[in-house]
Amino acid sequence: MRRQMTNFTVTTWLLLLAAWVLSGDRFLDWAYQMPDLGPLDDRLLDLLTWLDDRRAALGLGDVFGRLRSWLHATTGLG
């Protein structure tokens, strides 16, 4: 059971990474809205900004945004 739970956890982290890559600059926006972590905050935000620049360089675009627009238009919500 422990091994399965390890696989589950590793997969969820990989998916989170994938979600970040596919979500335009939203993760960075959300990161700026997160609670202040005191002395760690600046360093963490510098790291996230650097990582987000690497993500943008991949050129995958904002898949999340397009999916969101499509879902809102299709359902009449939003």
Partner 1 sequence: MLFPTLAFILFYGVVLILNLAVDGRPALRKAMLIAASYVFYGAWDERFLLLMGGVTAVAWLAGLLVTRPGWRRPVLILSITALLGTLGVFKYADFFVLSLSQLLARMGLERDMVWVGLVLPVGISFYVFQAISYVVDVARGDVPARRNAADVALYISFFPQLVAGPIVRARDFLPQIDAPHPPSAGERGEAVLLILTGLLKKLVIANYLGVLLVDPAFATPLQLDTLTAWAALLGYAIQIYCDFSGYSDIAIGVALLLGYRFRRNFNQPYRATSLRDFWRRWHISLSTYIRDYLYIPLGGNRGGLLQQALVLIACFTLSGFWHGAAWSFLLWGLLHGLALAGERLCQARGLRLPALPGWGLTCLIVLLLWLPFRAPDLIIVRDYLGALFGQAAAEAPPILPALWGLLALGLALNWAPLTLRGRAIAVLGRLPAPAQALTLGTGVFLAFAIAQEGTSPFIYFQF
The answer to whether residue 40 forms part of the interface with partner 1 (CB under 8 A) is no
Measured CA to CA, the distance from residue 26 to residue 63 in angstroms comes to: 11
The answer to whether residue 2 forms part of the interface with partner 1 (CB under 8 A) is yes
Give the three-state DSSP class for 2: helix
The answer to whether residue 5 forms part of the interface with partner 1 (CB under 8 A) is yes
Give 59 or 78: the residue with its C-beta nearer to partner 1.
78
Determine the size of the site formed for partner 1 (CB under 8 A): 30
Specify the residue for token string 């995958």: 60
Could you give the count of Cα atoms lying within 13 Å of 25 in the half-sphere of its Cβ?
A: 7
DSSP code of residue 23:
S
Given the rule CB under 8 A, which residues bind partner 1? 1-2, 4-9, 11-13, 15-16, 18-19, 27, 30-31, 33-35, 64, 67-68, 71-72, 75-78
